[in-house]
Amino acid sequence: MHVGTLERNTDAIKLHAAAMEERTDAIEKRTNVIEMRAAAIERNNELIAMYLEHRTEIDTIKQECTTLRHDVDALYSHIDVAQNDREVHRKKLDTMDQELFIYKNNVEHLYRSLSMVPPTMYEQTSASSLL
């Protein structure tokens, strides 16, 4: 009887060992899954860190673009002012050209008028204009 009990105990121990081996395999599989998830989380954390780093760069670039847009708007404003000034000066030049044309015509008319005056009257006119 003693041998029968030992055999049963041995069989029970073998069954228990097989069950423990299965549990160990299951634990190893879960451990592998957990390790893969941990690695995936690590990669995700790295990606998040890279994203945040790039996000900061993107925000900086957006701010620079906004500043450049303001600068461009200011330049267009200066261009508009310069074009308006140019138009004002062009109108002034046109007015001066008209005044110069009138003055030139008046001078030519005066010379023609003086050429029609007899010489003695012309000399008197010239002498009186000097006084």
pLDDT tens-digit series, residues 30-59: 999 999 999 999 999 999 998 888 888 899
Instruction: For residue 119, name the pLDDT band (cuts at 50, 70, 90).
Output: low
Q: What is the pTM (predicted TM-score) of this model?
A: 0.44
pLDDT of residue 3: 75
Can you give the three-state secondary structure of the chain, one letter per residue?
A: CHHHHHHHHHHHHHHHHHHHHHHHHHHHHHHHHHHHHHHHHHHHHHHHHHHHHHHHHHHHHHHHHHHHHHHHHHHHHHHHHHHHHHHHHHHHHHHHHHHHHHHHHHHHHHHHHHHHCCHHHHHHHHHHHHC
Map tokens 């000066």 to a residue.
Answer: 89
Q: Could you give the CA distance from residue 51 to residue 41 in angstroms, rounded to a whole number?
A: 15
Which whole number is the average pLDDT over 11-15? 91
Q: Which whole number is the average pLDDT over 60-65?
A: 95
- Band of residue 124 on the pLDDT scale cut at 50, 70, 90: low
pLDDT value of residue 63: 96
The whole-number pLDDT of residue 86 equals: 94
Structure tokens at 59: 């925000």
Q: What is the pLDDT of residue 76?
A: 95
